[in-house]
């Protein structure tokens, strides 16, 4: 019998009798066409053997080194308390909270997640998460079309993570490109038939963009403004809500989620209360039970696929509940001051590194632009530099493919790591 | 005793200005003055209203929240269509290994060889299980797997210059994500009715399929837990008119080693790795909706797929790809857990299916008489029942909570009035099922008045759901 099935031969016999069939094969009498061969899969392994294999595979990855890659996923410090909470079976092994009486834990955690996102973005309502950053951007693009009753067509610039843009296009949204100059987007000439104007800040090159200009441009043509923001940055940067954005979305991975090769992360989405009916995905709301006791429940369900089917805002069902819980616990542990410190440490270290690189003769691609913790630095041969870095046990930055490296610096990097980085780059340059 | 306040209040109300739950390393470089490097108007003026709590308070708060939540670990959870089987902790151990947990998604392929190998092997496993030759691991949940599949079909017809394919057929038993997916992909969804077994009505289907049909989205076994016995014929009807057969594989727990979608000429399907391969559902995710497809559709798969490259592996962009569906490579952590689960089963996956189907049929046999069973024939991994006349599925569900059981899925599938969809899964023992059946039989006897107050032994009583929607309060 398979590993996690409790059935003894006697159990099986008794159960088959109760059903009124003779063999297990009889239970598949209705199946056609049948598959009768054994599955051609590797032989069954014990837990111990399987986990040794996992270790062996992990050993084939480059790991245990300081990482200077970012571009949408950041190597940040993760408090140990997070996995202690997210690993609790009551959270980990539950389904979507359809039965609120026995799901208050998750429902309240979702409510707290929504609150954290609202506080960070300065917008009134947030959903319970979507898959990840790119998906949040794509869902926001579709949302702008529903709200403006226009065809899905959005204005973006090279400042939007190119991978986000690709996902938006996969979701059959037309994309028009805005000029991008000196590290920031020019919003002065937005076409008048777009449903949304997108502004990522900090943008793909780590630079703070003018969300206010983007919202004015959007509203000027009857479109909506969607701000794509790193949640950590919102501890120090003005909220998209205050700058006129109608929707704020982004990747919540920096809030306490491991890199784990790209996922699971969590996408967040927030908007004004007046737009809530066009928000996709789940929302937990406050209510009371029969005794008047405060409780939480999934609400405004009429937006969702299980109720509205073909007319739903989105097909999203399963989202990222447990990683959203991680973000919530992270925000609680850090608090406003801790989040700010994460941001300030990252900014200080990134600026230290950028200054040292310039000291040894390298040029920033956008020297005049205000950046946070990520910047593009010119190098004729990024590959060679990255090889040299790897040789010195450092995972270098992202090769932008046009003679520059995108370097991300988080609070996790030490001065010593930054100094070695400069030294290696200077010598390999 | 814990006071009401400490149990109920929000994390933010348990703090006090100035408290901190985590210490960061001391700065080792000079602090950058934000006002000097950033435009003044871009700086935040008011700090966000986040909790200011110490670590012990945070841990206690979330631990106590978890105690107001049921999971598979705490209770039998026969939630139909969700495959709430035991989640082995070995999978969690696998995902916590630092060589994976700390792996950046943009690390060059040569520095992520182990991760690519895992993905490549998992592609192979899913290909073997489905019989379909090509796989994509990119979609991050079942619904996204559906969308990916239907977008591939759309792109196929665009590529072929066949502009008339405007509809996708969806059986009336389908999960809500199916018609929602069809709309999102730009198709009109048209419903197909059922025959007396709860299966797609083949005659009705034949009448509906024409040159405007892009695909049929079939779920097999369907959401009544019934095997779609005419699936091969259905595939023929579609193929004759040049349309595709897509299979929603959320219910693959009934098929492992017993039925391969490719043998029924399915063109494209999605898996729910967070159901069939036991990656934990986490209270609503994350998941993975990996897809498998035929050679014809393979060039349209999302970017990237993993290929062999000499003795290593590389990411490749399929020739006519629909594009990316995720920023990086899908929910890799979920893929890793599913890979580990499959390796701990090998060909014994078939026993998983056998025991899942045995358990469901056993419950069906034991409930017969007390509950109405609209399709009382062999079921697969789940069975749909109806309460005795005059009783409500909702009341029975709430009554089950007082007996310590998470309710089955209720009011779904929509085609069955007062539906209760019970999916025991293979990881439950006969004793558990017997006890559950005992509770169900007792509840069948109870009057609506008996159940009006249920649940009384849960963290809350029944909720005022209308108020939540009418007076929306979705944040502190
Ligand atoms: C039959 C069926 N199809 C599709 C889905 C959607 O899967 P997911 O929730 O992972 O998006 C589900 C799960 O709820 C399902 O039961």
Residue B459 phi/psi, 5° resolution?
A: -55, -30
State in words which class domain A80-328 has: alpha beta
Q: What CATH number does domain A335-428 carry, 3.90.1150.10, 3.40.50.2000, 1.10.760.10, 3.30.460.20?
A: 3.90.1150.10
Residues B25 and B174 in one domain: no
If one counts the domains in chain B, the total is 3
Distance B141 CA to ligand 1 centre (A): 8
Best residue of B23, B327, B380 to probe chain A, by most A CBs closer than 10 Å:
B327
Q: Does B16 touch chain A (CB under 8 A)?
A: no
Q: What is the pLDDT of residues A353-378, one digit of tens each?
A: 999 999 999 999 999 999 999 999 99
Residue B2, pLDDT score: 41
- Regarding the beta carbon of B409 and ligand 1, being less than 6 Å apart is answered no
Quickly list DSSP for A183-212. Answer: TEE--TT--TT-SEEEEESS-TTSBPP-HH
| N residues, chain A | 429
Contact A345 B27 (CB under 8 A): yes
Residue B15 lies in a domain: yes
* ipTM for this model: 0.98
Give which of A122, A141, A146 is closest to A130, Cα–Cα.
Answer: A141
Contact A334 B302 (CB under 8 A): no
- Two structure tokens written together for B71: 């999971």
Contact B463 A59 (CB under 8 A): no
**Cα atoms in the Cβ-side hemisphere of radius 13 Å centred on B58:** 31
Residue B400 phi/psi, 5° resolution?
A: -60, -35
Residues B306 and B448 in one domain: no
User: Looking at residue B375, which CATH number applies to its domain?
Assistant: 3.90.1150.10
CB neighbours of residue B109 within 10 Å: 14
Residue B72 lies in a domain: no
Residue B78 lies in a domain: no
CB neighbours of residue A409 within 10 Å: 31
The CA–CA distances, whole Å, from B307 to A58, A153, B161, B313, B318 equal 19, 34, 29, 6, 10
What's the first-to-final CA gap in chain B, in angstroms?
26
Residue A139, pLDDT score: 98
Indicate the residue of A59, A125, A305 with minimum beta-carbon distance to B475.
A125
* Pocket mutation for ligand 1, best pick of B79, B81, B84 (most atoms within 8 Å of C-beta): B81
- Angle (deg, nearest 10), helices B332-343 and B113-130: 60
Do A315 and B146 touch, CB atoms closer than 8 A?
yes
**Cα atoms in the Cβ-side hemisphere of radius 13 Å centred on B36:** 7
Contact A166 B323 (CB under 8 A): yes
Sign of CA dihedral A297, A301, A303, A306: positive
Residue B3, pLDDT score: 43
CB neighbours of residue A391 within 10 Å: 10
Indicate the residue of A161, A166, A335 with minimum beta-carbon distance to B50.
A335
Distance B57 CA to ligand 1 centre (A): 36
Quickly list DSSP for B284-315. Answer: T------EEE-TTTGGGSPS-EEEEETTEEEE
C-alpha distance from A186 to closest chain B C-alpha (Å): 17
Residues B284 and B394 in one domain: no
Distance B248 CA to ligand 1 centre (A): 8
C-alpha distance from B463 to closest chain A C-alpha (Å): 4
Please tell me the residue having the least CA distance from ligand 1 atom 12: B250
Residues B99 and B218 in one domain: yes
Residue B126 lies in a domain: yes
Residue A237, pLDDT score: 98
Give which of B186, B233, B193, B242 is closest to B215, Cα–Cα.
Answer: B242
Do A77 and A411 touch, CB atoms closer than 8 A?
yes
Residues B217 and B164 in one domain: yes
User: Looking at residue B132, which CATH number applies to its domain?
Assistant: 3.40.640.10
| N residues, chain B | 476
CA angle B397, B400, B402 (to 5 degrees): 125
* Pocket mutation for ligand 1, best pick of B270, B272, B285 (most atoms within 8 Å of C-beta): B272
Q: Does A306 touch chain B (CB under 8 A)?
A: yes
The H-or-E segment that residue B341 falls in is helix B332-343
Sign of CA dihedral A192, A197, A203, A207: positive
Best residue of A201, A235, A279, A315 to probe chain B, by most B CBs closer than 10 Å:
A315
Do B291 and B135 touch, CB atoms closer than 8 A?
yes
Q: Does B233 touch chain A (CB under 8 A)?
A: no
* Pocket mutation for ligand 1, best pick of B250, B326, B334 (most atoms within 8 Å of C-beta): B250
The H-or-E segment that residue A167 falls in is helix A162-170
Do A125 and A118 touch, CB atoms closer than 8 A?
yes
* Cα A73 to Cα A134: distance, rounded to the nearest angstrom: 12
- Two structure tokens written together for A398: 């992202």
Q: In order along chain B (476 residues), what is the average pLDDT of each group of 10 residues?
A: 58 96 98 96 97 98 97 98 98 98 96 98 98 98 98 98 97 97 97 96 98 98 97 98 98 98 98 98 97 98 97 96 98 98 98 98 98 97 97 97 98 97 98 98 95 95 96 96
Cα A248 versus chain centre, distance? 13
Residues B339 and B353 in one domain: no
CA angle A417, A421, A422 (to 5 degrees): 120
- Regarding the beta carbon of B289 and ligand 1, being less than 6 Å apart is answered yes
* Cα A285 to Cα A300: distance, rounded to the nearest angstrom: 9
Q: Does B417 touch chain A (CB under 8 A)?
A: no
Do B92 and A87 touch, CB atoms closer than 8 A?
yes
Nearest CA in chain B to A412: B25
Paired with A399 in beta bridges are: A405
Give which of A143, A35, A77 is closest to B262, Cα–Cα.
Answer: A35
* Cα A389 to Cα A37: distance, rounded to the nearest angstrom: 51
* Cα A418 to Cα A423: distance, rounded to the nearest angstrom: 9
CA angle A329, A371, A240 (to 5 degrees): 55
Indicate the residue of A132, A289, A348 with minimum beta-carbon distance to B30.
A348
* Cα B77 to Cα B98: distance, rounded to the nearest angstrom: 32
Q: Is A403 helix (H, G, I), strand (E, B) or coil?
A: coil
Residues B421 and B388 in one domain: yes
Do A210 and A178 touch, CB atoms closer than 8 A?
no
Give which of B331, B241, B199 is closest to B277, Cα–Cα.
Answer: B331
Residues B99 and B159 in one domain: yes
Find where tokens 């100059």 sit: A181
* Cα A381 to Cα A172: distance, rounded to the nearest angstrom: 36
Residues B331 and B354 in one domain: no
Give which of B161, B166, B179, B246 is closest to B211, Cα–Cα.
Answer: B166
The CA–CA distances, whole Å, from A297 to A117, A282, B159, B456 equal 18, 10, 45, 17
Contact A1 B355 (CB under 8 A): yes
C-alpha distance from B15 to closest chain A C-alpha (Å): 9
Best residue of A60, A135, A240, A261 to probe chain B, by most B CBs closer than 10 Å:
A261
Do B152 and B301 touch, CB atoms closer than 8 A?
yes
User: In what order do the strands lie in the sheet containing B409-410?
Assistant: B383-385, B420-422, B409-410
Residue B7, pLDDT score: 55
Residue B194, pLDDT score: 97
Q: Which of B321, B343, B365 is the last residue of a domain?
A: B343
C-alpha distance from B362 to closest chain A C-alpha (Å): 6
Residues B55 and B136 in one domain: no
* Cα B366 to Cα B469: distance, rounded to the nearest angstrom: 39
* Cα B204 to Cα B202: distance, rounded to the nearest angstrom: 5
Residue B431 lies in a domain: yes
CA angle B91, B97, B100 (to 5 degrees): 100
Nearest CA in chain A to B77: A94
- Regarding the beta carbon of B248 and ligand 1, being less than 6 Å apart is answered yes
* Cα A402 to Cα B407: distance, rounded to the nearest angstrom: 57
Q: Domain limits of chain A?
A: 80-328, 335-428
- Domain hosting B389: range is 349-453
For all residues of chain A together, what is the average pLDDT?
97
Residue B218 lies in a domain: yes
Distance B181 CA to ligand 1 centre (A): 11
Contacts of B460 in chain A (CB under 8 A): 100-101, 104, 289, 293, 295
Paired with A289 in beta bridges are: B463
Residue B265 lies in a domain: yes
Residue B82 lies in a domain: no
Q: Does B158 touch chain A (CB under 8 A)?
A: no
Q: Does B55 touch chain A (CB under 8 A)?
A: yes
- Regarding the beta carbon of B143 and ligand 1, being less than 6 Å apart is answered yes
* Cα A389 to Cα A395: distance, rounded to the nearest angstrom: 6
- Regarding the beta carbon of B81 and ligand 1, being less than 6 Å apart is answered yes
Residues B319 and B367 in one domain: no
Distance A186 CA to ligand 1 centre (A): 42
Q: Does A238 touch chain B (CB under 8 A)?
A: yes
Q: Does A253 touch chain B (CB under 8 A)?
A: no
Residues B118 and B226 in one domain: yes
- Two structure tokens written together for B96: 């916590």
In chain A, positions 351-390, which contact chain B (CB-CB < 8 Å)?
351-352, 370-372, 386, 390
- Taking residues A17-46, report their average pLDDT: 97
The conformation of residue B186, written as its DSSP 8-state character, comes to T
Q: Does A418 touch chain B (CB under 8 A)?
A: yes
> SS3 breakdown of chain A: % helix, strand, coil, rounded to 5?
40, 15, 40
Residue B418, pLDDT score: 98
- Two structure tokens written together for B309: 């490259």
Instruction: Give the start-end residues of each E strand in A370-411.
Output: 374-378, 398-399, 404-408
Q: SS3 letters for A262-306?
A: HCCCCEEEEECHHHHHHCCCCCEEEEEECCCCEEEEECCHHHCHH
- Name the pLDDT band for A2 (thresholds 50, 70, 90): confident
The conformation of residue A337, written as its DSSP 8-state character, comes to H
The H-or-E segment that residue A90 falls in is helix A89-92
Residue B238 phi/psi, 5° resolution?
A: -70, -50
Please tell me the residue having the least CA distance from ligand 1 atom 16: B81
Give which of B33, B333, B83 is closest to A344, Cα–Cα.
Answer: B33
Residue B1, pLDDT score: 38
- Regarding the beta carbon of B177 and ligand 1, being less than 6 Å apart is answered yes
Q: Which of B299, B328, B343 is the last residue of a domain?
A: B343
Give which of B257, B289, B260 is closest to B273, Cα–Cα.
Answer: B289
Paired with A175 in beta bridges are: A154
- Two structure tokens written together for A346: 């990252």
**pTM value?**
0.98
Residue B104, pLDDT score: 98
């Amino acid at each position: 019998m398979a590993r996690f099935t409790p059935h003894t031969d006697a159990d099986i016999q008794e159960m088959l009798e109760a059903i009124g069939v003779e063999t297990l094969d009889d239970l598949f009498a209705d199946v056609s066409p049948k598959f009768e061969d054994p599955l051609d899969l590797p032989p069954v392994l014990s837990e111990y053997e399987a986990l040794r294999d996992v270790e062996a595979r992990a050993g084939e990855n480059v790991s245990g080194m300081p990482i200077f890659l970012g571009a949408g996923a950041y190597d940040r410090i993760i408090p140990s308390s997070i996995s202690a909470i997210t690993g609790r079976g009551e959270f980990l092994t539950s389904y979507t909270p359809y039965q609120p009486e026995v799901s208050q834990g998750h429902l309240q955690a979702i409510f707290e997640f929504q609150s954290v996102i609202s506080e960070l973005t300065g917008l009134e309502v947030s959903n319970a998460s979507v898959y990840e950053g790119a998906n949040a951007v794509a869902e926001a693009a579709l949302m702008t079309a529903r709200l403006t009753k226009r065809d899905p067509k959005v204005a973006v610039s090279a400042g939007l993570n190119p991978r986000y843009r690709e996902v938006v296009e996969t979701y059959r949204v037309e994309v028009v490109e805005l000029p991008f100059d000196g590290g920031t987007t020019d919003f002065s000439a937005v076409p008048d038939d777009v449903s949304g104007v997108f502004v990522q800040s900090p943008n793909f090159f780590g630079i703070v963009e003018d969300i206010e200009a983007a919202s004015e441009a959007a509203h000027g043509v009857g479109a909506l403004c969607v701000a794509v923001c790193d949640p950590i940055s919102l501890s120090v940067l003005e909220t998209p809500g205050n700058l006129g954005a109608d929707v704020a979305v982004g990747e919540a991975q920096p809030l306490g989620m491991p890199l784990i090769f790209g996922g699971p992360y969590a996408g967040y989405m927030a908007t004004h209360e007046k737009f809530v009916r066009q928000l996709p995905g789940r929302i937990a709301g406050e209510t009371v039970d029969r005794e008047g006791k405060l409780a939480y429940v999934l609400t405004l369900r009429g937006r969702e696929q299980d109720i509205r089917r073909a007319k739903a805002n989105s097909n999203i069902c399963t989202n990222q509940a447990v990683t959203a819980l991680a973000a919530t616990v992270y925000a609680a542990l850090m608090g406003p001051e801790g989040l700010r410190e994460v941001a300030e440490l990252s900014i200080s270290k990134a600026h230290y590194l950028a200054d040292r690189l310039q000291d040894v003769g390298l040029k920033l691609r956008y020297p005049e632009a205000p950046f946070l913790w990520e910047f593009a630095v010119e190098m004729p041969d990024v590959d060679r530099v990255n090889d040299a870095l790897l040789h010195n046990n450092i995972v270098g930055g992202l090769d932008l493919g046009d003679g520059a490296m995108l370097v991300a610096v988080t609070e996790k990097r030490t001065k010593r790591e930054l100094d070695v980085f400069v030294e290696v780059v200077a010598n390999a340059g | 005793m814990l006071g009401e306040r400490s149990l109920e209040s929000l994390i933010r109300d348990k703090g006090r200005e100035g408290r901190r739950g985590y210490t960061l390393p001391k700065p080792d470089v000079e602090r950058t003055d934000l006002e000097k490097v950033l435009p003044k108007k871009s700086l935040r003026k008011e700090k966000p209203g986040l909790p200011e709590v110490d670590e012990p308070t945070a841990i206690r708060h979330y631990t106590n929240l978890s105690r107001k939540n049921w999971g598979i670990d705490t209770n039998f959870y026969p939630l139909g269509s969700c495959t709430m089987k035991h989640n082995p902790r070995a999978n969690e151990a696998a995902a916590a290994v630092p060589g994976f947990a700390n792996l950046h998604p943009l690390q060059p392929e040569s520095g992520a060889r182990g991760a690519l190998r895992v993905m490549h092997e998992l592609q192979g496993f899913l290909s073997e299980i489905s019989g379909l030759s090509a796989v994509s691991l990119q979609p991050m949940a079942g619904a996204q797997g559906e969308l990916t599949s239907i977008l591939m079909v759309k792109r196929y017809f665009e590529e072929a210059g066949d502009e008339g394919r405007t509809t996708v057929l969806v059986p009336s038993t389908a999960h809500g994500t199916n018609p929602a997916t069809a709309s999102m992909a730009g198709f009109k969804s048209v419903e197909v009715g059922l025959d007396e077994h709860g299966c797609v009505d083949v005659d009705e289907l034949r009448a509906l399929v024409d040159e405007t049909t892009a695909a049929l989205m079939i779920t097999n076994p369907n959401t009544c837990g019934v095997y779609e016995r005419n699936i091969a014929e259905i595939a023929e009807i579609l193929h004759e008119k040049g349309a595709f057969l897509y299979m929603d594989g959320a219910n693959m727990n009934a098929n492992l080693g017993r039925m391969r979608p490719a043998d029924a000429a399915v063109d494209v399907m999605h898996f729910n790795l967070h159901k069939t391969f036991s990656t934990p559902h986490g209270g609503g995710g994350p998941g993975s909706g990996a897809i498998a497809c035929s050679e014809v559709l393979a060039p349209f798969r999302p970017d990237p797929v993993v290929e062999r490259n000499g003795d290593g592996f590389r990411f490749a962009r399929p020739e006519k790809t629909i594009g990316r569906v995720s920023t990086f490579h899908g929910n890799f952590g979920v893929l890793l857990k599913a890979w580990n689960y499959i390796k701990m089963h090998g060909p014994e996956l078939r026993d998983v299916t056998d025991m899942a189907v045995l358990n469901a049929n056993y419950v069906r046999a034991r409930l017969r008489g007390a509950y109405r069973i609209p399709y009382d024939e062999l079921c697969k991994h789940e069975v749909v029942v109806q309460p005795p006349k005059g009783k409500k599925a909702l009341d029975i569900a709430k009554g089950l909570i007082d007996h310590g059981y998470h309710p089955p899925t209720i009011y779904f599938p929509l085609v069955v009035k007062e539906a209760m969809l019970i999916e025991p899964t293979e990881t439950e023992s006969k004793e558990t099922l017997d006890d559950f059946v005992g509770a169900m039989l007792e509840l069948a006897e109870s009057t609506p008045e008996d159940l009006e107050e249920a649940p009384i032994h849960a963290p809350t009583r029944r909720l005022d759901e209308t108020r939540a929607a009418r007076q929306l309060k979705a944040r502190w």
